[in-house]
Structure 1
Amino acid sequence: MIGKGKAISYTQASMSYGWNQEKDAQVVYSQNLVGENPKEVAAEFRLTQELNTNCEKNTLSFILSPTIDDGKNLEKKELSRICEQFMKQMNLKDRQAIAFVHRDKAHKHIHLYVNRIDFKGQAYNDSFIGKRSQVAAEKVAERLQLTTVKQVQWEKEHNLRAIRFEIKRRHDLTMQQFKPRSFDDYIKGMQTNGVKVIPSINKANKLQGFRFEFDKYNLKGSEVHRSMTGGNIGKTLAEDKSMANFLKENTHLKVAGKTVELSTGMAKAIAKQVIKKIISKGMDTGIGF
């Protein structure tokens, strides 16, 4: 579960958004209030806020977002429990508060509004409230056995490692299986092996590298493996003699149906590989030495 929080001054406007019936909002938590609409609740907030006219941002606005899977199983009782535990964890005590749940998206989330001014006229300390909200939501999730941010991050990192490995494996398979002679051949080969290769072309119509789309992930070549940057892929392709000749004789390439120019960095990387290949061949045959 993720928690976000901040102090605001536009109480009624923000509550009106949270209570918007078009978003299928439902009140799931209320404390020390009798109002039945945003205007009435905001008026109750203001009565208490008049006890402290020095505080301008006198309402606390929080968003509590369980994971999508957790949210599917949370009804009003459980959502109310989340708000109650969060209020306790944030040490908000006996303040006016109201919360709505939004189901307008697959990701169910709670909007919680709390009066920053208590019944004694004291303003709640909002220092580092964003970070404190995150920590409080994490503790509430642990207490209620919901998925925590740390668990989500671990799962994401774990899945990402597996995705990177699989894209790299399919890259190696493409190189061995199809022995592509051009970037276009490489793109088609990767597509055959289930990976969509998206050329990164800048405003100057120069090819800078590639992104790889696989199983809902979209990663830069350098994020997958250092050998999969545009320059390094080009160097591998340039190991083929016909590819080397092609690069020496042409300044433009056709990639994914578009004629583009290689970026300076890619051109240099490939040129070095071509020169290295020529020198190596010369040394092997004894030509020029």
Structure 2
Amino acid sequence: MVSKAKSIRGSVKAIRYIQSDKSLGDAMELDRNGIISNDPKEILDELRLMQEANEKCQKNTISIVISPSSEREFSRAELREITRTHLKGLGLDQNQYLATVHRSTGHTHIHVIANRIDEHGKAVSDSFISKKSQDISEKIAKEKGLLTAKDWKKINDVTISPVKQEIKQAHDLSKLKAQDFSQYSELMKSRGVDVIPTINKQGEMQGFKFHHEQSGMTFKASDIGKNAGVKDLLQNRVKIPNLSTPYLEVQQEIQKEIKQSINKGFSR
């Protein structure tokens, strides 16, 4: 179980965001306290009635995202219990709040918008609030016999890190022999890694992913490391067609640096 919390300046946009589950439509409301309306603007007005008692506090809202363990499904009652435990641990359970559930990403997670200002005009401390939130998650996970974030990290270190290292080694060898992206992809394929280009609406390449055939795992190039993406290939003079504008600019800058380096060599 993982959770993050931070203080923000309340806005209609933030409320509207947690009320929408993107492609699935309206998000499922999980819980609320001290809020009557369903309209984002009216909800913000309700929060501001309380916040007027402490105008010095600029970041007057707490945003929380809770990702329960993917080991099993949680009932609505369990998700509500997890949410309330978090809020109580952060000293926000008596304040106004709205909690919703999002599932559009394929992984159930909880969004909470809570008023940082209580009925007495006092602001709940946000010092180390993200760490406090994660500590609460760790405690809940242990109580429910679930894997904690630390447990998942250990598992990832054992199962994922070796795969990433294998992909990086394949990349480092392939980029040295490839003259263009097609050749690079073929060399990676021969080493058990499929290269999947990410194409934007204009038909331009804006990056790529790696699919490790043996493990079935897929990673963005950036997940493998800084020196494993489009820029690294360009720096190794691997030609890539139909690049997106940002990478075209990178390509031009690299070509300029190479030309300057060659000219310096001739001038000696």
TM-score range, shorter chain: 0.5 to 0.7
Q: Once the 2 structures are TM-superposed, how far is the Cα of residue 119 of structure 1 from its aligned partner?
A: 1.1
- Bigger Rg, structure 1 or 2: 1
Give the Cα–Cα distance (whole angstroms) in 2 for the partners of residues 137 and 28 of structure 1: 18
Q: Are the counterparts in 1 of residues 96 and 115 from structure 2 also a CA contact under 8 Å? A: yes
Distance 1:79 1:189, change over 3 A: same
Deviation at 1:27, TM superposition (A): 0.8
Alpha-carbon deviations, 1:164-213, whole Å to 9, x = none? 68779x98xxxxxxxxxx94699867744634589xxxxxxxxxxxx985
**Where in structure 2 are there 5+ consecutive unaligned residues?**
171-175, 197-208, 229-235, 241-257, 259-268
Specify the alignment match of 2:205 in structure 1: none
Distance 1:80 1:12 in 2: 23
1:51 pairs, out of 50, 53, 59, with 53
* 2:192 aligned to which of 180, 191, 194: 194
Change (3 A) 1:187 1:9: closer
Report what 1:124 is aligned to.
Answer: 124
1:216 corresponds in structure 2 to 218
Residue 154 of structure 1, CA deviation: 0.9
The aligned residue for residue 34 of structure 2 is 32
Task: Give the Å deviation of 1:76.
Answer: 1.8
User: 1: CA distance between counterparts of 2:3 and 2:68?
Assistant: 9
| Structure 1 pair 145–30 and aligned structure 2 pair: CA distance change class (3 A) | farther
| C-alpha distance after superposition, 1:223-274 (max 9, x if no partner) | 9xxxxxxxxxxxxxxxxxxxxxxxxxxxx99999xxxxxxx9xxxxxxxxxx
Check 1:50–1:157 CA distance in 2 against 1; reply closer, same or farther (3 A cut): same
Task: Output the TM-score relative to the length of structure 1.
Answer: 0.58
* TM-score of the aligned structures, taking structure 2 as reference length: 0.62
Structure-2 separation of matches of 1:45 and 1:255: 55
Q: Which runs of 5+ in 1 are unaligned?
A: 172-181, 199-210, 224-251, 257-263, 265-289
Looking at structure 2, the residues matched to 86 and 194 of structure 1 have their Cα atoms a distance apart, in angstroms, of 44
Q: 1:253 to 1:124 in 2, by over 3 A?
A: closer
The code of the aligned residue for 2:110 comes to: I
In the other structure, the counterpart of 2:155 is 155
Q: Quote the residue 1:76 is aligned against.
A: 76
Q: Is the 8 A contact 1:24 1:103 kept in 2?
A: no
Task: Report if the CA contact (8 A) 1:24-1:104 is conserved.
Answer: no
Question: Which residue pairs with 2:87 in the alignment?
Answer: 87
Question: What is the identity percentage for the equivalent residue pairs of Structure 1 and Structure 2?
Answer: 33
* Contact 1:89 1:140 (C-alpha < 8 Å) held by counterparts: no
The AA in structure 2 aligned to 1:111 is: H
**Does the Cα contact within 8 Å between 1:183 and 1:255 map onto a contact in 2?**
no
Matching residue's letter, 2:112: L
Give the secondary-structure state (helix, strand or coil) at the position aligned to 1:77. helix
Flag the 1:148–1:192 CA change in 2: closer, same or farther, 3 A. Answer: same
Q: How far, CA to CA, are the matches of 2:41 and 2:210 in structure 1?
A: 50
Query: What's the secondary structure of 1:51's corresponding residue?
Result: helix
Shift of 1:128: 2.1
Structure 1 contact 45–115 (Cα < 8 Å) conserved: yes
